[in-house]
Structure 1
Amino acid sequence: MTLTLTRLLYAKDEVIYSLINELLTQENYKACIFWATELFYSHTENIFSLIWKIYFDFYSEYNPGLEIYIQKKQTAWKTKKDIRHILYIVHNMFYLNRSSTTFLLRLCVECENTKLIIYRKTKHMEWLTDYPVYSHSLLIALSKKHIKHASILLKELSNLYSSKTIYDIIVKYYNPSLISADKIEKKWNKRGWTCDFHGLLALIVHLNTPVENITRPLVFKTPSKSHLMKVEESNQHIMDRHLHCDRVYRILKENREFTIHHLVGAFQLDRNTHVNFINDIYDYWEYYASGSPVWKMRIEEFGGVFRGKNLEFDEKPDKDFYDHYGLEPDEQSLHTQRVSNPPLRKYSIEEWHQQIFKNPCKYISGEDVCAY
């Protein structure tokens, strides 16, 4: 099962893409908070992996100070899974300068359709003797500002050598004497992300960026207390309605505040793997919702088991489950249904990039943006 439905029965991948598009367009702050909230209250696993991915793809080039901020929130998150840690990060991302360089280079590497230039050491490159031979092509590419080829070479090295070894080489190349070995070691060991290649790619993009384009220092802001309280109270209200079997069938109508962003049509969507997406999520919504931890827990609470895609209850009457959690997605008004399942136009990556960043797309072209 790839398609997963969230707490309010949105397609999870479309919630993620809606969050990304709202962050990048910087047009609707409340929508950003809503989508982040939907992911959190669906008990989305590895939510910080998503945050790091968004940071590296769109924010690390101009906002290196955000890395430490995310690390601090991640550390606090390990102690207490509080939604405020997530919303503080999203709040600040919304207002920061963003770029697409790392994102496009990552897609370029993943597409694997670029021919590499063969780099050779010349007599003017004696400085290369200070580095391992296997790193020479990468360093020559960086010295020539061939960032696209450097990205592909970086990926090849990442498959052969330890990430820490490559990190040390990159830092030495850009900053041969400014940073002590102890500080380099400490910074690497404190990293909170899991995809080291992505972190290294973002690093070389940042280090190739003119200093005048870097935002320093960053002054981090906090969301208003009233907005945070509203988010928490809204979720508590939904939970109480489920607990007391209180007009559960109206929960979708009253709490689906935002429609899936139209630009998610640029991404590879789980809905497109289904011959009849709408019928599937109405006929088997419980099955697809069970991919979210919050729904898995609810189904298990009532002893539900799946036989194929059909949810059955061996011990308790199925009425007990549906009294508490029967959201009845197929019986909602057309408006409520379309909020989560709007018809989506397909955008090319060039069209998406032009709408978001208002400039031509570099490094890659094609029909689809890779799945996130």
Structure 2
Amino acid sequence: MFRLTIAASLLVAGPAMAEQETLALMPLKVGGGLTQGDGDEIGDTLGTMLSQKGKYKVLDRNHMAQMMEEKQLQMVTASDDDFIDLAAYAHAAYFLVGSVGRLGSKRILNVRLVDVDTAATVHAERVSWSNPDLLEELLEGLAGKLSGDAKAAVELDPKFGVRLFHQLNRHACAPRNSVRGRITAHIAGEITVSLGRGHGIGEGSKLQVMKGGDAVGEIEVYEVKASSSKGSYTHLGDTFGGAKKGQPVRPGPLRISVAEFTSRGASGLDGRKAAKQVIDQLKSGAAGCTVAKKQPIKKFADMSDGRKKRMAKKTDAVLTGTILTRRGQQVIEVQLISPADGGIMAQFSVPAR
């Protein structure tokens, strides 16, 4: 049996409807080893989500199943003409009919939205899943498409950026501020240190060379391995003496760029606005992190590897966010990604509201 939870109120803001049209939700046909209980739970969940969208007054599955029983109709033999007669008898403008089954290792849900007056299918959708935890999100997206509000805007809490910033500080900024290493070699002007990609170091990163608690020099990294890196040394101010083996080093602040946020399912999102909230928080300052780019990055996921590697010279990490529905609540999944190699440096989630 699928276990689905429905929030009392969703965060997706749909357009106000002047008049609701009635939609009859027919029981789903089931196959592929699924039980009728599975089909009923999926149908009930979809019906609830459609009601919450506000476009339709939904006659639920139980109501229509009772009417089918009264008219001695069976799902396995009922035709569209039978459903049209049934929906018309219930004074519905539309009816939704569909099936759920299996295709290989995936579960498949097919639905059709049919106009009772014209008998025309006005909307047909198909969703598939192999992970049951994704089903609620897929049904949310399906309800949005059937209601015509797949692009409705999500209203993010004004404090969303603050909450994300606190998590970012916990998972990335504070740990970065505590990273320490040492110079392991200094040969012909080339400095090797015991900090590498695993410590959030990338090409173009700046490392501070320390002496007595003060920064006396700077290493600009041009070659990075998992646990070591190489770079060139520059004196700072009026300090004397070169970098020596064994001398302590620490990384500069993690240079973070923020990608425009994306959404999954029906929850549309002003991804640029969400990203700017995070950038504004980063600008306020946090030991261990700094803003690399002052504007959100567009279509980071679609960038070529070459372009990402060029970006890595000025950006240590790109923060990405995806809004989705999890257990009936809107959340933002956040990842901190190295543009140099695509590795995930940190990941966490925060409520959208």
Structure with the bigger RCO (C-alpha within 8 Å, sep 6+) is 1
* Higher helix proportion (structure 1 or 2): 1
Q: TM-score, normalised by structure 1?
A: 0.22
Q: TM-score, normalised by structure 2?
A: 0.23
* Higher strand proportion (structure 1 or 2): 2
